[in-house]
Amino acid sequence: MISLLDYGAGNVRSVINALERLGETVQIVSSGDDILQADRLVFPGVGGFGSMMHTLREKNFVAPLTSYLQSGRPFFGICLGLQALFDGSEEAPGVAGLGIIPGQVKRFTVDLAVPHIGWNGIKVRQPSRLFNGLHGDEKFYFVHSYHVAPETDEWVLTATDYGYEFVSAVQKGNIIATQFHPEKSGKAGLALLENFLDTTREAVIPAAGPDPTRLAKRIIACLDVRTNDRGDLVVTKGDQYDVREHGEVRNLGKPVQLAGRYYEEGADEITFLNITAFRDFPLKDLPMLKVLELTSKNVFVPLTIGGGIRDYKDKNGRHWSALEVAAEYFRSGADKISIGSDAVLIVEEVLKTGQAGGMNSIGRIAGVYGNQAVVISIDPRRVYVETPDAVNHHVIETTSPGPGGEHYCWYQCTIKGGREGRDVDAVTLAKVCEQLGAGEILLNCIDRDGTNKGFDLELINAVKNAVSIPVIASSGAGNAAHFHEVFTRTDAEAALAAGIFHRQEVSIGEVKKYLQDKVEIRPV
Ligand code: 1PR
C-alpha cells in the first residue's frame, strides 16, 4: 500500500491511476496521523504555492509532513510537491514552505512562452534508483511557471534547459521530487515511478544524456465527441464544423478506444471536445465524465476536456458555476479544461465594461487549478475586408486574397460550435484571455477544419505574436509535411489534428518519423 497526500486542490486521479497501474493500492491521506503512519508517501501538488501551503497549514499537515520527511522513509513529490520542500516561492512572497531544502522557488525569466508546457529532457547529476531501465534521452511532461533554485548542489538530481538551466528533480536519500509529471510522461514516467516504488533497486546513471535538453513540439490528437441520433456517444469530425454526412452524424469510432490507440501510437496529449455541450446541461453529460474516467486509467499523457465549461442552471433550478463543472472534469481525470463559447462572452464583457466581474470563470478556474489548467479554444472564421482600417479589429494582410480580391482579413470569433459569429477578433480574444489567467490557446480555424489543406499559418502567426502563453495550432492538417510547415513557419508550441488520424490516412508515428531530425519531438 502507498499513501497519497491529497490536499483537495486538483486532479490526483492520474497519479492514483498510474500507481494502480503499477500494482499498488493507494490510500488517500486524510489526517496528520495518516501521514505519520505512512510507509511510502506520494505528494502531487497542483494549484498555487500560496494556496497549497495555506491548505497544508489549515489541515495541520505541516508538522506531520516535516516529521515524515525527516524520518528517512520514501517520499515522492511531484510539481508543487517538489516546490513545497523549499523555503518559499516568488509566487507567494512571505508564505513559508516546508524548509526541507534551502532555497527558493522562482518564476521563469525567459523570452519563451511561460508556462513551460510540454515534453523536455533531463540531465542526470547523480545516480538514483529512478533511472533503472532508462536510456537517459527520454522526455518527461512539464507544466509550470516557477522552478526551484536550491542554494547548494547536494540535492540536485536532474537539470533541464528552458531558456536557461533549472533544477528539474531533487533527491537526498529517500526523499525524491520531480518538477515534471511522471504520471503524465507515458511509459518512461511509469518506469520511473516503478523504480521509486521498489526501494531495493540499485542507484544507476543512464548511459545517454542530452545537453542541452530541448522542449519538444507536441503532437496532439483531438476527439470531437457528441451523441449521434441513435443516442451513442461517438467521435465525429466535421468539414468546416459540419459533422453531418447524408443527414447523419459522422461516426469515426468510440472515444475511449480511439484515445487508447493514440496513446499507444505516441500522441503527446489527447483532447476531447464535447461539441454539443453548449446546448446541453454539461453535468448531465455523464457519459463524458465516464469517458474521461476510463481513458485516464490507461492513457498516461495529459488529457484536456472542452465543451460546456460555463455557469448554468440545471432543470431543477440549481445553479452550477463554471468552476464546479470544471471540478467534475478534473476529478474524472482531466488535466486541463478548455473554454470555448464562454471565453468569447467573457471577453465581450471585458471590452464593454473594462472588467470581467462575476463572469470571470477563466480567472476563477486558474486560481484554483493553476493557469496551465485553463486552455482557451478559439473557433475563428476569416472575414475579408478591403482595407486594414475597414473594421475596428485586428486586421492582417493576407497572401490568400478573398473572393472579391481583398488582401486583408480579420478572424471573427464564433460561439456554439461556429453557429454564431461575434464582434470580437481572435487576436484580441487571445490577449484578453491571457490577461484573465488562461495558460494556453487552442487555435482552431473553421475555414481550414477538415479540409486537409494545411494549417492557417497567417492566423497562427497573428495570435502567437500577440501572446506569451503557448499556442496549439489546429485545423487543416492533411499530411506529415503540414506539421513540419507549422513548426518551422510559426512559433506554435503544439499542433493538433483530428481527421487524418481518425481516418488512418497518416498515423501519429508517421508524423513523428517525418519530423525526426527536422524538428525537436518526443520520439515514439
Ligand atoms: O463552446 O465551451 O462549449 O466548447 C465547445 C468546443 O467544441 C469548442 O472547443 C469548439 O472548438 C468545439 N466544437 C464545437 N463544434 C464543433 C464542430 O466541429 N462542429 N469542434 C467543434 C471543433 C475543431 C477542432 C478539430 C480541428 C482539427 N473541432 O478541434 O478537431 O479543427 O480538425 P482536422 O485536423 O480534421 O482539420 P464550448
Determine the distance separating the centroid of ligand 1 and the alpha carbon of 380, expressed in angstroms.
Answer: 11
Are 338 and 354 in contact, with CB atoms under 8 Å apart?
no
276 CA to centre of ligand 1 in angstroms: 10
Q: Which of 91, 269, 285, 379 is catalytic?
A: 379
DSSP state of 242: B
- Has residue 501 got a pLDDT over 90? yes
CA nearest to 502, candidates 335, 327, 258: 258
What confidence tens digit (pLDDT) does each residue in 325-380 have? 999 999 899 999 999 999 999 999 999 999 987 779 999 999 888 889 999 999 99
Cα 158 from Cα 334, distance rounded (Å) = 28
CA dist 251 and 262 (Å) reads 17
- The residue annotated as part of the active site, out of 116, 144, 147, 181, is 181
Per-residue confidence band for 288, with pLDDT thresholds at 50, 70 and 90: confident
| 153 tagged catalytic | no
> Which helix (H) or strand (E) segment is 191 a member of?
helix 186-197
Closest atom, ligand 1, to C-alpha of 496 = 27
Does residue 523 have a cis bond before it (omega within 30 degrees)? no
Per-residue pLDDT of 161-212, as tens digits, reads 999 999 999 999 999 999 999 999 999 999 999 999 999 999 999 998 899 9
Residue pair 52/14 in contact by the 8 Å Cβ criterion: no
In sequence order, what DSSP letters do the residues of 35-99 get, joined into one string?
A: HHH-SSEEEEE-S-HHHHHHHHHHTT-HHHHHHHHHTT--EEEEEHHHHTTEEEETTSTT-B---
For the chain, state the CA radius of gyration.
23
Q: Which atom of ligand 1 is nearest to the CA of 339?
A: 2
* Torsion from C-alpha of 91, 92, 94, 99, nearest 10 degrees: -70
Query: How many angstroms is it from 332 CA to the middle of ligand 1?
Result: 21
For ligand 1, the distance from its centroid to the CA atom of residue 417, given in whole angstroms, is 6
DSSP code string of 365-407 = HHHHH-GGGEEEEE-EEEEEESSTTSSSS--EE-SS--TT---
**Atom 15 (ligand 1): residue with closest C-alpha?**
417
Q: What is the pLDDT of residues 239-283, one digit of tens each?
A: 999 999 999 999 999 999 999 999 999 999 999 999 987 776 666
For 400, other C-beta atoms within 10 Å of its C-beta total 11
**Which atom number of ligand 1 is nearest to the Cα of residue 415?**
1
Compute the distance from residue 378 Cα to the ligand 1 centre, in Å: 9
Q: Specify whether 181 is catalytic.
A: yes
Intra-chain end-to-end CA distance of the chain, in Å? 32
Q: Which residue type sits at 191?
A: A
Q: Given the CA of residue 274, which atom of ligand 1 is nearest to it?
A: 7
Q: What is the mean pLDDT of the chain?
A: 95
- Residue 285 reports pLDDT greater than 70: no
Tell me if 10 CB under 6 Å of ligand 1.
no
3-class DSSP state of 456: coil
